[in-house]
Copies of this chain bind each other. A is one copy, B any other.
Amino acid sequence: MSHTLGIRQAQKQKTRQALLDAALRLLEEQSLSSLGLREVTRAVGVAPTAFYRHFRSTADLGVALVEEALGSLHPMIRTTVSANGDPDERIARAVELISGHVARHPAHVRFIARERHGGVQPVRQAIQDQLARFGEEVKHELAKDPVSTGWSDDDLLMLANLYVDQMLMTASLFLDALEGTEEERERVVQIATRRMRLISIGRHHWLD
């Protein structure tokens, strides 16, 4: 259904993406609240004023980056949580999946971890919203599991958000270990796996 956009809009989206990419790279070594608009345009090679054709401000660009980083992650989350197999296998697959995602998109992960509690309110809000959506989706998947029979809605949401937070912390650990040795990364796998396992155990005995 995508009739090819004119050569005009195509160019616009191209520079827009260039701005996003340049910003993401610059944000590896600083926070969004110190990212200058001129800094971004200089990195791309366009005039400072061109920035305004795409974003109102760097905060606005930040919100767009949140969408780029988390927007496409929802299907992945769903299938991961609802995967079948015995608990330990599911945990191993989830950890592996996080590890791979961090290795493939380190800058995105760093951006989210950094700006989740960062100094720019609209961006914080956008991240919170996306994470809340993740929470709801995970809860919806957990509800299907027979283990969840007898659970209250509040308890299910609590567990779902615990999982979401755990994913983020794990991602952050993998990020720190990215430039380290293979041993370090393996250690992160061990830690993350055991944390998930402990939570899983708590889940199975919740109603005792």
Residues of A within 8 A of B (CB): 27, 29-34, 110, 113-114, 116-119, 154-155, 158-159, 161-162, 165, 169, 172, 190-191, 194-195, 198-206, 208
**Bound Cα distance from A29 to B33, whole angstroms:** 9
- Is B162's CB under 8 angstroms from A195's CB? yes
Contacts of A114 in B (CB 8 A): 117-119
**Bound Cα distance from A172 to B200, whole angstroms:** 24
Contacts of A110 in B (CB 8 A): 117
**Bound Cα distance from A159 to B202, whole angstroms:** 13
Contacts of A165 in B (CB 8 A): 169
Which one of B30, B119, B159, B204 lies within 8 Å of A29 (CB-CB)? Answer: B119
- Is A119's CB under 8 angstroms from B34's CB? yes
Which one of B31, B118, B206 lies within 8 Å of A198 (CB-CB)? Answer: B206
- Is A30's CB under 8 angstroms from B119's CB? yes
Which one of B33, B169, B172, B190 lies within 8 Å of A33 (CB-CB)? Answer: B33
Q: Looking at the assembled complex, report how far the CB atom of A113 sits from the nearest CB atom of chain B, in whole angstroms.
A: 4
**Closest Cβ neighbor of A193 among chain B residues:** B158
Can you sample 19 A-B contacts with CB below 8 Å? A29-B119, A30-B33, A30-B34, A30-B119, A31-B118, A31-B119, A33-B33, A33-B34, A34-B34, A110-B117, A113-B117, A116-B117, A117-B117, A154-B190, A158-B194, A198-B202, A200-B202, A201-B202, A201-B208
Contacts of A200 in B (CB 8 A): 202
**Bound Cα distance from A200 to B203, whole angstroms:** 11
A198/B194 contact (C-beta < 8 A), A117-B114, A119-B114 known: no
- Is B117's CB under 8 angstroms from A172's CB? yes
- Is B34's CB under 8 angstroms from A158's CB? no
Most interface-central of A117, A161, A195 (chain B CB within 10 A): A117
Which one of B27, B155, B169, B205 lies within 8 Å of A205 (CB-CB)? Answer: B205
Which one of B30, B159, B198, B206 lies within 8 Å of A203 (CB-CB)? Answer: B198
